[in-house]
Amino acid sequence: MTTHQKPKARDEDIVIQEVLDELLIYDKQRHQLYALNPIVAWLWQRLDGQADTQELADHLSQQFPELAGQAEHLLWATLQRLDEKHLLAQRVREQIPPQLETRRTMLKRMGLALALLPVVTTLAAPSPAQAQTLSPLCTGCFTSQAEAENACGASTVGTCWTNNSCGGSNPGTEPNLTPSSCFAFSSAGSWRAPTTP
C-alpha cells in the first residue's frame, strides 16, 4: 500500500517566473534554472503540504481527464523529477513506490501525448568559475539578450537587474545568470557581466 505523503514545493532560495503555461524556477543555492512544462507547473503550484498524494492524484485526474486512471503514476513520476532537482521542501525518493514506471514505459502503456508527461528541463546557468575571458566588447550595461550575447557570449554569467541601468541596490537583482536566463524573467531590465577586461 502506498503511503499518502503531503508533498510540499520548496519555497526558499528560489525565484519563480511564469512564462505562458510553464514555470521558470531559478535555484539560488545551486545556480540552476529549471523549466517546468505545463503539467508539472500545474502540479507544483498545488504542492502546499496540505493535500496528500491521493488527493493530488484525484485533482490531477479531474484537471486532465485524458489521464484515464493513470494519475497516480503520473503524480509519482512528477514528484520523482521534482525531487531529483531539489525542488521539494522534503525528499520523497525513499518513499516512491518501487513499481513506478519509467517515462518511456508509461508513454507506451498509457498512450499519453508527450505534453502530458512530466518534464523538468535544466537550462544553462553556469557558475562564475565557468565563465571564460571576456571579449573587449563585453563592457557596460545590456538591455537585451541579443546585445549581451553578441558582446559577451551566451555562456557568460553576470548580474540581472530589474531596472535598465545595471545599478542601484534593488533587491530584485540576481547574480550568476547568463543573458538568456536573465531575460527569461519578465521583470528583467538589464544585464552586466561580472568583470570587464
What are the tens digits of pLDDT across the range 110-166? 554 444 566 677 765 544 444 445 565 677 788 888 888 887 888 888 888 888 877
Domain end: 92, 123, 154, which one?
123
Cβ atoms 23, 111 nearer than 8 A: no
Same domain flag for 104 and 136: no
**One domain for residues 105 and 136:** no
Please give the tally of structural domains in the chain. 2
Mean pLDDT over the full length of the chain = 75
Residue 179 lies in a domain: yes
Specify if 159 maps to a domain: yes
Final residue of a structural domain among 123, 143, 166: 123
pTM score:
0.57
- Do 109 and 33 share a domain, yes or no? yes
Q: Average pLDDT in the 65-93 region?
A: 83
pLDDT, tens only, 161-186: 888 877 766 545 677 788 888 888 76
* Pairwise pLDDT comparison (73 vs 137), residue with the higher score: 73
Boundary (domain end) residue, out of 96, 123, 150: 123
| Cα(78)–Cα(119) distance, integer angstroms | 8
Residue 9 has pLDDT above 90, yes or no: yes
Give the pLDDT band (50/70/90) at residue 105. Answer: low
Q: Which domain holds residue 161?
A: 128-192
Are 18 and 112 contained in the same domain? yes
**96 part of a folded domain:** yes
Do 107 and 53 share a domain, yes or no? yes
Q: Note whether 15 and 25 are within 8 A (CB).
A: yes
Flag whether pLDDT at 95 surpasses 60.
no
The reply to whether 80 and 31 lie within a common domain is: yes
Structure confidence at residue 189 (pLDDT): 83
Per the domain annotation, does 163 fall within a domain? Answer: yes
Asked if the structure places residue 188 within a domain, the reply is yes
